[in-house]
Amino acid sequence: MGIRFPATLFGKTALTIAVVLVLFQVFTTLVIAYYLLIPVARRSANDMADFVLLSSRTWAALPVSGRAEFQEVLRKDAGLILLPTDDNANLPGSAVYLPYVLFLGKALAERTQRPIQMKAEHSDGIDWYWVDFDSEGQRLRAGFSGQRINIQAPPAIFLILVLGTMLTLVTTLILVRRLTRPLSLLSDAAERIGRGGIVEPLPEIGPSELVTLVRAFNKMAHQVETLLASRSTLLAGIAHDLRTPIARMRLALEVLPPSADPELLERMLRGLDNMTRLVNQSIEFSRGLGRDPSHEVDVAELIEELAEEAERGGAEIHLQPGRAYVRLVAPMALRRILTNLLDNAVRYREGRPIDLTCVCEGEKLRISIADRGPGIPVGELEAVFEPFYRVDKSRNSITGGSGLGLAIAKQLADSNGWSLVLNPRDGGGLVASLVF
């Protein structure tokens, strides 16, 4: 499994800044250690080695009666323990590899011209370091605590590095968030407009470049909203005005004398029925641009109701709604989508049963309507969502397809942020799936 890097502008910027700051901190630490800490540690180790050897020479030069007092003074005032030993005595503790201790051992070896081994021992909460060496023909053992030689690196340097890095990182991330947040809001609003939704004007705040961009977007969004409203009004007006002449033509056909050609009369009435259906669907299409407030809906109950209506019309429905699913949705939009999809399946089922299922997928619901009709070619599965688009083999004036049913369903689904897809069914037919 590969490493997943952030995809958002904020994530990429934050990751870049964090990596650069970490590399800068590592580089700064190495430079400080090489040019400051290591030289200081070497000088301190050399001074400590000189002090140990000077103390040992002083101890050796004293009479035996005065050595104990000198050792006590060294222990109290200098934190150094100095004891006589022999070549067969073993150093207490274990090997130590701290840089300062290694520097000290090297300095003692250079001054005594003898190999030096240093060991560490932890006693009473304090680390003690021991070394055996020769001085003035006498084998001596020196011991000193970690507090005495101050082997810890200056904490102020690392504190400054860490706090400085964190402060720089937090400040930079705040600035980046102030720049990327308006872009995120802009992206979300553009996506809602792309689904046919209506968005409120975005706040025009931030740098002048962002303010100009947001102002242009708000103007565009208002123009799109006005255009959609005009289209809705125009389409609804035309459809409404067509109802009157259609009704008059139907009335005129119904009062024709019995001598009129019955076949011609039937074709004309069927044509008027198709026109009436097209007008009604055009009005529904225009209404789909409006807003539908959300309410809690028992989706399983709604599906059962729609299935019963289809069965009363003569269709055979195999229903698998599952348990009760209560969701906060736009009820009119959901009903219209499912009605159009179910009507489409009933119209082209070719006398076979329709499978209607509702399953829960995580926090979302998937409603599937599957028929055994002629289906839709794979290359036209997206095109059928366009208004007035027809598939020649299955949608014509005889079967009653107007090319608006799926367009209305798709428009309502997009405006509510739902997913509506069509897929070929194994064994023939079509599966319409609504996920929300």
Model pLDDT, residue 151: 52
Candidate from 23-37, 123-137, 394-408 with smallest mean pLDDT: 394-408
Domain range list for the chain: 9-153, 292-435
> Residues 335-354: pLDDT tens digits?
888 888 888 888 887 778 88
- Neighbour tally for 371: CB within 10 Å: 27
d(CA 263, CA 162): 92
Q: How far apart are CA 254 and CA 248, in angstroms?
A: 10
φ and ψ at 119, to 5 degrees?
-135, 155
pLDDT > 70 in the chain, percent = 84
Helical segments of 36-119, H only: 38-61, 64-73, 99-112
260 burial (CB, 10 Å; 0-12 / 13-18 / 19+) is exposed
Please determine, for residue 400, whether its predicted confidence score (pLDDT) is greater than 60.
no
What confidence tier does 18 reach under pLDDT thresholds 50, 70, 90? confident
Give the pLDDT band of residue 392 (cuts 50, 70, 90): low
Each residue's pLDDT tens digit, 250-290: 777 776 776 767 777 777 777 777 677 667 666 665 655 55
> Which residues have a Cβ under 8 Å from the Cβ of 97 and sit 6 or more positions away?
none
Provide the token pair at 398: 């005889």
Higher pLDDT, 40 or 87: 40
Q: pLDDT, tens digit, for every residue of 292-316? A: 667 888 888 888 888 888 888 788 8
> Which residue matches tokens 């799926």?
406
Strand arrangement, sheet containing 126-135: 80-84, 138-145, 126-135, 118-123, 94-95
> What is the pLDDT averaged over residues 398-424?
77
Mean pLDDT calculated for residue range 421-434: 88
Domain 292-435 belongs to what architecture?
Answer: 2-Layer Sandwich (3.30)
Q: Would you place residue 397 in the very low, low, confident or very high pLDDT band (cuts 50, 70, 90)?
A: very low
pLDDT level of residue 396 (50, 70, 90 thresholds): very low
Which fold is adopted by the domain 9-153? Beta-Lactamase (3.30.450)
Write the DSSP string, 275-342: HHHHHHHHHHHHHTTS----EEEEHHHHHHHHHHHHHHTT--EEEE--S--EEEE-HHHHHHHHHHHH
pLDDT in tens, 188-237: 887 777 666 667 788 887 778 778 888 888 888 888 777 767 766 766 67
103 neighbors 42 (Cβ within 8 angstroms): yes
Which pLDDT belongs to residue 393?
46
Position with higher pLDDT, 164 vs 133: 133
Q: Do the beta carbons of residue 338 and residue 309 sit within 8 Å?
A: no
Confidence of residue 359 (pLDDT cuts 50, 70, 90): confident
Which element (helix H / strand E) includes 83?
strand 80-84
Residue 379 confidence (pLDDT): 82
Equal fold, 9-153 vs 292-435? no
Percent of the chain at pLDDT > 90 equals 1
Who wins on pLDDT, 81 or 146? 81
Residue with the larger pLDDT of the pair 122 and 288: 122
Confidence of residue 2 (pLDDT cuts 50, 70, 90): low
